[in-house]
């Protein structure tokens, strides 16, 4: 029987793990810990930004959350209901969708725009007549700033920004409450990025959407997010309000990330002390013992090698996983 929680967040993830078995020799496999014991929640109408370097596991979090990958361990709740059976997943996917990173490869080149946007309507049987289907497709195109005459054209005839709008219209087809945005602007020109980000903002206000916004561009994340979570090598290392993370990052990795954000004012930029991290990111196949960041951390101690620090609340709504917070200033 599914567990029900009173007044829950819209989405809650508890101790999520996603391990992939990788061949490392003759008949030998080793688990690649793409996501390793990650917990967070997202309230209704909120945008949670998820940031980190390439390969840290943030896209895997989004895909596992939607059960595109079967979780290795952990629990995913939607509106307080545990998602576990096939029926639960099917119902969940009517309320939760995804906007993919690459607008060039995520759209079928053999389908017209009308068919691409209408596909979720077909899958979930969300119309009774052909006219109703067509009206809904045109309404969705209007939502994302596409003209009705675009409906009969193919994806390759559009620019990157327009293709991403098609992908967003497709994700809105099932009337979702929650959307996982997987680096939705990283493949676009900067001028187009701003248009797409503003569109996400407008859709949130107009339709009341909730987002998990995955990106590596901290300026983009700050603009759209209410709270920001920072990941490193499959682990969540810090989570706080967007303003708090920028003004008072506590984890050494978050501090290094934020020190690298470009500042438009040259005087402030010159005064800004960039924190350069030594070493390379370890392979998730051979992650360090204890805290995964210890091999690049200037504050690392023996305790960091022997145990993973607990992801705990250090002030209201500010969570950090670090043994040496008292040494960081």
Instruction: Express each pLDDT in 3-51 by its tens digit.
Output: 444 467 999 999 999 999 988 877 888 889 999 999 999 999 999 999 9
Lowest mean pLDDT among 301-305, 314-318, 325-329: 325-329
Q: In the β-sheet with 81-82, what is the strand arrangement from edge to edge?
A: 28-42, 11-25, 73-78, 81-82
Per-residue pLDDT for 111 more than 50?
A: yes
Long-range contacts of 251-258 (CB under 8 A, 24+ apart): 251/293, 251/320, 251/321, 251/322, 252/293, 252/297, 252/298, 252/299, 252/322, 252/328, 253/277, 253/293, 253/296, 253/297, 254/230, 255/328, 257/51, 257/52, 257/218, 257/230, 258/218
Alpha-carbon distance 210 to 179, whole Å? 6
Alpha-carbon distance 211 to 226, whole Å? 10
Alpha-carbon distance 96 to 42, whole Å? 13
| Percent with pLDDT over 90 in the chain | 57
Token pair for 284: 């998730």
The pLDDT of residue 76 is: 96
Residues 6+ apart with CB under 8 A from 318: 238, 239, 240, 241, 244, 250
Per-residue pLDDT for 78 more than 70?
A: yes
Domain chopping of the chain, boundaries? 1-225, 235-329
pLDDT per residue as tens digits for the range 144-203: 888 999 999 998 899 888 998 999 999 999 999 999 999 998 888 888 888 888 889 988
Strand partners, 181: 99, 213
Give CATH superfamily name and number for 1-225.
P-loop containing nucleotide triphosphate hydrolases (3.40.50.300)
Per-residue pLDDT for 85 more than 50?
A: yes
Mean pLDDT for the chain overall? 88
Token pair for 58: 């943030």
pLDDT band at 278 (very low <50, low <70, confident <90, very high): confident
Alpha-carbon distance 30 to 118, whole Å? 41
The pLDDT of residue 181 is: 95
Closest C-alpha to 56, from 84, 79, 35: 35
């Amino acid at each position: 029987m599914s567990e029900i929680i009173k007044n829950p967040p819209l989405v809650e993830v508890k101790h999520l793990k996603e391990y992939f078995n990788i061949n490392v020799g003759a008949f030998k496999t080793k688990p690649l810990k793409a996501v390793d014991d990650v917990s967070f929640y997202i309230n209704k109408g909120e945008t949670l930004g998820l940031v980190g370097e390439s390969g840290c596991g943030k896209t895997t979090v989004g895909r596992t959350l939607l059960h595109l990958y079967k979780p290795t361990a952990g629990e995913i709740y939607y509106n307080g209901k545990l998602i576990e059976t096939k029926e639960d997943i099917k119902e969940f996917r009517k309320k939760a969708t995804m906007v993919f990173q690459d607008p060039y490869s995520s759209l079928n080149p053999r389908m017209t725009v009308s068919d691409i946007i209408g596909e979720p309507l077909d899958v979930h049987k969300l119309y009774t007549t052909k006219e109703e289907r067509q009206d809904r497709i045109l309404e969705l195109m209007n939502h994302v700033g596409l003209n009705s005459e675009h409906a009969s054209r193919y994806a390759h005839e559009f620019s990157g920004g327009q293709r991403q709008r098609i992908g967003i219209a497709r994700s809105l087809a099932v009337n979702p409450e929650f959307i996982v945005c997987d680096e939705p602007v990283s493949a676009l020109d900067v001028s187009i990025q701003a248009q797409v980000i503003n569109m996400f903002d407008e859709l949130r206000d107009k339709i009341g959407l909730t987002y998990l916004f995955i990106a590596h561009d901290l300026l983009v994340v700050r603009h759209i997010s209410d709270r920001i979570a920072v990941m490193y090598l499959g682990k969540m290392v810090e989570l706080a309000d967007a303003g708090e993370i920028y003004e008072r990052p506590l984890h050494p990795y978050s501090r290094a990330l934020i020190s690298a954000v470009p500042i438009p004012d040259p005087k402030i930029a010159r005064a800004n002390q960039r924190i350069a991290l030594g070493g390379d990111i370890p392979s998730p196949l051979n992650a360090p013992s204890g805290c995964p960041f210890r091999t690049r951390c200037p504050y690392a101690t023996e305790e960091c090698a022997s145990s993973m620090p607990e992801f705990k609340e250090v002030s209201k709504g500010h969570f950090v996983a670090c043994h040496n917070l008292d040494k960081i200033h």
